[in-house]
A and B are shown apart, each in its own frame.
Chain A
Amino acid sequence: GENVEQHPSTLSVQEGDSAVIKCTYSDSASNYFPWYKQELGKGPQLIIDIRSNVGEKKDQRIAVTLNKTAKHFSLHITETQPEDSAVYFCAASRPRDSNYQLIWGAGTKLIIKP
């Protein structure tokens, strides 16, 4: 089955700098890759997603890149702000069939230092 590995487990960056979180997946049939942000005491919230027919997607300070050949995808946050501090999860899923589900990474705790 699918396995998603996420690195690093903790990332500390200076406010204003960029942060990069990387994930690898094992199932070459996976075609949907969302990123979620989870703040303390809250449920995960989708911040950006990408499908396998594109290599990069950007939304203001957040971007995601996908390398299908290498089976890895990354989250890039530029000009980090204190409110970016949270746990970030990547996930992957196969096309919709009877056994599909989102497989999640273990999460990255992002700390923005003032």
Chain B
Amino acid sequence: EAGVVQSPRYKIIEKKQPVAFWCNPISGHNTLYWYRQNLGQGPELLIRYENEEAVDDSQLPKDRFSAERLKGVDSTLKIQPAELGDSAVYLCASSFGMLTDTQYFGPGTRLTVL
């Protein structure tokens, strides 16, 4: 069974440019999470989807970040415009249902903003 797929794996952009990350969760997983992980820190939740509904986006910087999960399957996270402080690893995870179900993580996208 395929795991969580993310692309691209690495992205280098200049500040003020837009960037998008894509995630395909494990088949059948209703819950999808986007996390940001800074170097030497644990992941921080950006947004959580239950099917196609964003049920927790309280930590998503909405002035520059947006996300969508059309049809309740794969998801895209966008940053526009990117800032230097956005450099981090962006992780996507999915779970079958409740938060206390195991979250399965993708390999992440390492973003470098120059």
For A114, what are the chain B residues with a Cβ–Cβ distance below 8 Å? Answer: none
In-complex Cβ contact of A104 among B40, B42, B48, B56 (8 A):
B42
Enumerate chain A residues within 8 angstroms of B103, measured Cβ to Cβ: 34, 46, 102
Instruction: Judge whether A43 and B40 touch: CB under 8 Å.
Output: no
Contact partner, A43, options B45, B56, B93, B99, Cβ 8 Å: B93
Would you list 22 pairs from A and B whose C-beta atoms are within 8 A, ordered by A residue? A32-B99, A34-B103, A42-B105, A43-B4, A43-B91, A43-B105, A44-B105, A46-B102, A46-B104, A51-B100, A93-B99, A96-B100, A98-B55, A99-B58, A100-B99, A101-B99, A102-B103, A104-B42, A106-B40, A106-B42, A107-B40, A107-B41
Tell me the smallest distance from the CB of B17 to a CB of chain A, in Å: 24
CB–CB A101/B48 < 8 A: yes
Bound complex: CA of A62 vs CA of B98, how far in Å?
25
Supplied contacts A96-B99, A101-B45, 9 more A-B pairs, CB within 8 Å: A32-B99, A32-B100, A34-B103, A43-B106, A46-B102, A51-B100, A99-B58, A102-B45, A102-B103
Chain A interface category by residue count? 20 to 34
Cβ-closest 7 pairs across A and B: A43-B105, A104-B42, A32-B100, A101-B45, A46-B102, A89-B42, A44-B105
Interface of A is mostly: loop
Interface residues of B (CB under 8 A from A): 4, 40-45, 48, 55-56, 58, 91, 93, 98-100, 102-108
Per the bound structure, the CA–CA distance linking A42 and B110 in Å amounts to 11
- B40 to chain A: which residues have CB within 8 Å? 106-107
Report the bound CA distance from A101 to B57 in whole Å. Answer: 11
CB contacts (< 8 Å) of B42 on chain A: these are 89, 91, 104-107
CA distance A101 to B48 in the complex (A): 9
User: Is the Cβ of A102 less than 8 Å from the Cβ of B99?
Assistant: yes
Q: Which residue from chain B places its CB closest to the CB of A91 in the assembled complex?
A: B42
List the A side residues contacting B99 at CB < 8 Å. 32, 93, 96, 100-102
Could you tell me the distance between the alpha carbons of A80 and B105 in the complex, rounded to whole angstroms? 24
CB of A105 to closest CB in B, whole Å:
6
How far apart are the CA atoms of A99 and B103 in the complex, in Å?
17
